[in-house]
Amino acid sequence: MLRVVLVGISIIISYVFQTTFSSGISFGVAAPNIIMAFVCSYALLRGKKEGMYVGFILGILVDLFYGYYDVIGINAFLYMIIGFVIGMFHEIFYLEDILIPMAVVGVCDFLYNFIYYVITFLLRNKLDFIYYIKAIILPEMVYTIFITVFIYRLLMYFNKKLEAFEKRGEKELD
């Protein structure tokens, strides 16, 4: 229960950070995608089920307020799939290594922006893909990878604390 509340709070915090602070810390046009870093880090730390839920909720939040032409479901779907797929790596990878989340976030952010480009730009006949890769996708990707270092460490720290706390609770119950 405590975990649900804490995750709920951290979802709101990451969403609000993305909408308020990200433009303040942006270089040029590229602002980091804190939501992506959060979803990937969380999915890596907790597995596919929780990753899926967190991705879905954050995606719905993004769609509700900043959905493309007020259409709800595109971001929810993308973030949910990302949360689910990345969550499958939970059991495979050694989670202390920071390079893995960085690589994962990089790939996910690229794919997400690529699909988002196809849906919102390519279908409106804006074909200069190379330009958009250079101007938007790559800068955002690099910056998001950078941000991941902090977000992942922070999440890992709190996750450890929480897991220890949950174990203690279980022992007391026995």
Partner 1 sequence: MKKPGKKVIPTKYILSFLCVLCAGLVVLTMINSNIARPIREAVSTIILPVQKGMNQIGEWFSDKADMLKELADLQEENERLKAENEELKHENVIASQQRAELERLRELLELDDVYADYPKIAARVIGKETGNWFSIFTIDKGLSDGIGLGMNVISDGGLVGCVTYVGENYAKITTIINDDSNVSAKFASTSDVCIVQGDLKNFESGMIRVTNINIDANVKEGDMLITSQISDKYVPGILIGYVSGIEDDGNKLTKSAWVTPIVDFSQMEEVLVITQLKVTGEE
* Rg (the chain; Cα; Å): 17
CB of 20 to partner 1, least distance (A): 5
162 to 67, 85, 152, 159: CA distances (angstroms): 33, 24, 15, 5
Amino acid found at 41: S
Angle CA 128–132–26, to nearest 5: 160
Which CB atom, from 84 or from 152, has the smaller least distance to partner 1? 84
Q: Any contact of residue 30 with partner 1 (CB under 8 A)?
A: yes
Q: Any contact of residue 18 with partner 1 (CB under 8 A)?
A: yes
> Which token pair is 28?
């040029």
Residue of 4, 65, 153, 160 that binds partner 1 (CB under 8 A): 65
Which spans of this chain sit near partner 1 (rule: CB under 8 A)?
12-13, 15-24, 26, 28-31, 33, 35, 48-49, 52, 56, 61-74, 76-77, 80, 84, 113, 116-117, 120-121, 124, 126, 128, 131-132, 135-136, 139-140, 166, 170
